[in-house]
Structure formats: structure tokens, C-alpha cells
Amino acid sequence: MKKSLALIALLLLIAIPAMAARVASVPITHEIDLVYQAYDGDSNGTDLEFLGYNGTGEDVIGAVPGVLSIVPGENWENFVGAAQEDPEVAYTIKNVVLCKEHPSIIQCADVFPAGIICQQGTPNIRLWWPLMYEVPGTCWTLTILYGTGVPYDDDGAGPNPAGYVHTEVWQWCVDASLDSLEDLMQLFHELPFGLDEVPLISDEVLFPILNDKIDAIEEAVEGSEPDLVTAGLILGDFEMEVMDACIPVSPMTPAPTGPGTGIANTVENPACCKLLADAEFIGFDLGILQPKK
């Protein structure tokens, strides 16, 4: 993200040249928060339950889509450090920049191309980002520049003298694990594909097979003696099963298996490519796959 931060810094300097000569504190970079494309939908212990048609049995909603929701508060008070201190320090927002950076991937690179987009100015920042089709490694960087009427020490990484100009940076990055991959598959098994409303993963025979492969990878990796070779073979088999199941149109009939069923892979619903991208990320993250030198 070094290029992203450099770009943000340039945008901020361009936006307020008159402030550049004033004393500025060291930018505060907050800890990265990890977000996921899907989360466990189990409602146990809550008042909300999703049960079968007769209202009994276990929850039938196994996963829910992830969302990055940025709640700025009035004048971005939820993100400005000076506003959280006691006593509060009056501040004025000078600029807000949100950059989203897509990483380079191998699987389905044409569907999920690498790149960066930036939004600048408080009215222009998109605050709601659905995550279901965001590839792992995608990061949002929010940079807020604000000024205080009096010198203020915001306790950034030092040396950090009191200043009039302050910069704070937040990051959210999409992560993936074997557990989150199972949540994503469960989500794809529940959400509809097209007007026929069969699931994005419509092959009922394939679905448990893929889940079993994920469990087998986890067992090979997390055993007392990790077996990355076996894990790599199973991961490769998982990817081949997914590739073979990709379908470009919704099945005409809601059959549980057979011709026409599989995993959705269209411009609007690239579920097949999304599973492949996650498998690739997890493989590198766990050391099952090795990057080419």
C-alpha cells in the first residue's frame, strides 16, 4: 500500500497548499481491520431465527454477506482523534480521501483486474461497500486531514510535536481463510442465480464434496505434522472441481444435480471465479502454494 499512501499524501497536499507551511503532526496510521466476504449466519442466542416452514428445527440460513459500512458521524467525528479527547479540541475537516486497491491475482484476473480507485471530498465518499465479490487482499484506505485552531498533540508515533494540521489513516482489508471459504460457499449455496432462483451453487452433489475437501485441507495443514504436499494436492483438486462446475447461465430447471447445474460464473455473479480467487489466496497464505520466482 506504499504507492496508495503516497498518492493520498499528494492529493492532500494539493488540496490545501496554504496549510503546508503550518506545523503538522506526524500522521497516525491505525491498525488494519480485516473484513470478510461472508459471515456465519447462525442466529443461536439471538431473538432472530431463520427456521424451516413449520418454525422448528435448526437455522436454515447458514451465512450472510459481509459489508464494509463506514459511519462517519457528523463532520466525520467518528474518525477524528481530536474529537474523542477530553477536553475536546475543535477541528475543521480539510480533506477526506478513500482509496480502494485491488490486488493482482492469477485465477480469473480478467474478472477481478488489479487497480486502484480514489474518491475525494466529504460528499463524494462511498460509505457502503458490499464484500461478497471482493477478492482477498483488496484494501480500503481512508485518510482524513483536519486542522485545529490551537496547537494540539494527537500523540501519533513520535517525535510528534503539537501541530495545527493532523492526518489520520484507517485501513480495511479483505481476508480469507478455510473457515471463511466455507462461509462463502454456504452463502453461494443459499443465494439465487437469475430468475429461476436456483442457488449460485446449484449442484447439490458437488456442494458437500467441496466442503469435505476444505475440511481435508484444514486437517492436513493443522495436524501435529503439517502435510503441505497433501494439502496442495487437495487444493488443486478443489480448484479443478470448481472449474469443471462453472456455468454461464442459470439452470432452466431446479434439478439437484446433472446437466445444467453447477456454480454460477457470469459478469453479475462470478461465484465460480470468486471461489478460485479465495482458494489461491488461502493457498499462498498457508504456504501450500509457492509464488513463482
- Phi first, then psi: what are they for 234, rounded to 5°? -70, -40
pLDDT number for residue 286: 93
The mean per-residue pLDDT over the stretch 74-79 comes to 91
Same domain, 193 and 280: yes
Same domain, 164 and 231: no
* Coil/strand/helix, residue 24: strand
Q: What is the pTM of this model?
A: 0.85
The mean per-residue pLDDT over the stretch 15-29 comes to 59
Residue 102 within a domain: yes
Same domain, 138 and 185: no
- Phi first, then psi: what are they for 271, rounded to 5°? -60, -40
Write down which residue in 174, 196, 221 finishes a domain.
174
Same domain, 168 and 261: no
Residue 154 predicted with pLDDT over 90:
no
DSSP at 235: H
Distance of alpha carbon 247 from alpha carbon 82, whole angstroms? 52
pLDDT number for residue 53: 61
Bridge partners of 249, per DSSP, are none
Same domain, 99 and 138: yes
pLDDT number for residue 260: 82
Same domain, 185 and 278: yes
Distance of alpha carbon 68 from alpha carbon 173, whole angstroms? 10
Contact (CB, 8 A) for 97 and 74: no
Residue 291 within a domain: no
pLDDT number for residue 3: 47
**% of the chain exceeding 70 in pLDDT:** 83
Same domain, 71 and 113: yes
Please write down the long-range contacts of 114-120, taking CB distance under 8 Å and 24 or more positions apart: 116/3, 116/4, 116/7, 118/7, 118/8, 118/11, 120/11, 120/15, 120/95, 120/96
- Residue indicated by cell numbers 463524494: 124
CA 177-178-184 angle, 5° bins: 85
Say how many C-beta atoms besides its own lie within 10 A of residue 87's C-beta.
4
Same domain, 157 and 197: no
Write down which residue in 113, 139, 174 finishes a domain.
174
- Phi first, then psi: what are they for 119, rounded to 5°? -125, 135
137 phi-psi bin (left φ>0, alpha ψ -120 to 50, beta other): left
Residue 156 predicted with pLDDT over 70:
no
Write the pLDDT tens digit of every residue in 36-57.
Answer: 999 987 655 555 555 666 666 6
Distance of alpha carbon 261 from alpha carbon 249, whole angstroms? 9
- Residue indicated by cell numbers 482477498: 136
With CA atoms as reference, report the closest residue to 181 among 50, 105, 59, 274.
274
Residue 10 predicted with pLDDT over 60:
no
- Phi first, then psi: what are they for 233, rounded to 5°? -65, -40
Same domain, 29 and 94: yes
Bridge partners of 97, per DSSP, are 120, 143
pLDDT number for residue 21: 41
Task: Tell me how many domains the chain contains.
Answer: 2
Q: Which one-letter amino acid corresponds to residue 263?
A: I
Distance of alpha carbon 134 from alpha carbon 274, whole angstroms? 8
Residue 223 within a domain: yes
Same domain, 203 and 259: yes
Write down which residue in 174, 208, 241 finishes a domain.
174
Residue 90 within a domain: yes
Residue 150 within a domain: yes
Residue 290 within a domain: no
Distance of alpha carbon 81 from alpha carbon 143, whole angstroms? 12
> What range defines the domain where residue 246 resides?
178-285
Which of 116-125, 169-178, 189-198, 265-274 is least confident? 189-198
Same domain, 165 and 228: no
Same domain, 98 and 22: yes
